[in-house]
Amino acid sequence: MQPQMMVHDRYFYDPVAGKYTVDRYLDDLEKRYGGIDAVLVWAVYPNAGIDDRNEHDMARSMPGGIEGLKQMVADFHRRGVKVLFPMMMWDQGTSDPGTDWPTAFAEFMKEIDADGVNGDTQDGVPLAFSLAAEKVGHPLAFEPERGPSDEALAWNVLHVGPVPIYVRTYGGQVSLARSPPPGQYSGPLGPGQDGCSAIRLL
């Protein structure tokens, strides 16, 4: 389970105390639906475009700056929760990161010890991002919003949206596939029927 958490969530940060309240945030989610495995920390909306800050600048401007982010990530890790930050390929015309984006992401995620990157609106995070993470010695999990191509599954190991999975039945045997055999999609199947039916994994 991985929610997309807006950074202005009132359970996540206490503006009076001036500190992140990761335990409070996680305790609430455990009460509500049993807890989470990872969190996507969303610092870009609704501020993107209000000035020339890029997506990393937005994260760095969170309370406490880099040191605050590092402590916040460490607090999630202490509770066994992985931390991801988003990547907007459409983040154009904002401040230059000073290097290519794959390297900028790898270095920033390493600096704050984050675990992965969510590829907003992407149907596969490009391989260059995975290679850059390996180069700086901080491998990351990549999570595109849409399903990547088969070859990109090697480095896009997480996924956000619903993925259509086709269930094929024949003679009582069941198999799963990412796409139906040509001409064999038959819609919802009844008990004991053979054919191919789509389901969605969330």
Q: What is the pLDDT of residues 177-194, one digit of tens each?
A: 555 445 544 444 444 444
Token look-up 């190991």 returns: 157
- In 3D space, the residue among 125, 77, 101 whose CA is nearest the CA of residue 69 turns out to be 77
Q: Is the pLDDT of residue 9 over 50?
A: yes
Q: Can you give the length of the chain in residues?
A: 202
- Give 146's contacts (C-beta < 8 A, 6+ positions apart): 121, 122, 123, 124, 160, 161
Residue 13: per-residue pLDDT? 95
Residue 167: per-residue pLDDT? 52
What would the two tokens of residue 98 be? 């000073």
Q: How far apart are CA 71 and CA 97, in angstroms?
A: 23
